[in-house]
Structure 1
C-alpha cells in the first residue's frame, strides 16, 4: 500500500494521517542540528503535553514510514484498490 504523504502544517511541522480521516495519527517536527536536520516523530494527542516522542530520524520519509495503520476489526488492512496492470483484457479492442 502506498503511504499518504504528510500534510505540511508549517515550515518545520507535518501532520500524519492514517485510518481516521479527521484525527491525525502523528506529528513530525523538524529540528535543525549542526550535523543536519533531525525529524522528531510524536504520537499525536489533542493536548500537546500528552504527545509522546516515539523516534528521531534523519529524513521526513523515514519518519512517515514509521507511522503504522491501526488494525481493522477483522485484522485485515482495508482494501486500497487493484494495482495497475499491463496485461490487456481479452475484451480490449486493438
Structure 2
C-alpha cells in the first residue's frame, strides 16, 4: 500500500481486425478469387524470408470479411484491400520448413 507502482495483470488473448493491401494484377484475377468474402484459410508471414529452419513463421487462421478497391488519385498502381477476421489462436515463431525442388525425369 505504500508503493506508487501499479502492476498490469495479463488479460485474454484477442485479435483486432486485420487487413492487407495488395496490388492488382492486369491479367490475372486469381488472387481476388482466392480472397473472396467468406473464404477461410491461412495468412502466413515469413518475417525473415524463406529461410529453412528459421523460427520466424507466423500462421494466422483467417476468414475474409471484405475485399474492396483502394482508390487513390496519386500515380500509383491499382490496389485492393482485404479485411480479415482471425478465427483462432495464431501459431507464432514456427519453424520455416525446408523446401524441396521437384526433379524431372
| TM-score, normalisation: structure 2 | 0.24
Q: Which has the larger radius of gyration?
A: 2
| TM-score, normalisation: structure 1 | 0.26
Q: Specify which structure has the higher proportion of strand.
A: 2
Higher relative contact order, chain-length normalized (CA < 8 Å, sep 6+)? 2
Q: Specify which structure has the higher proportion of helix.
A: 1
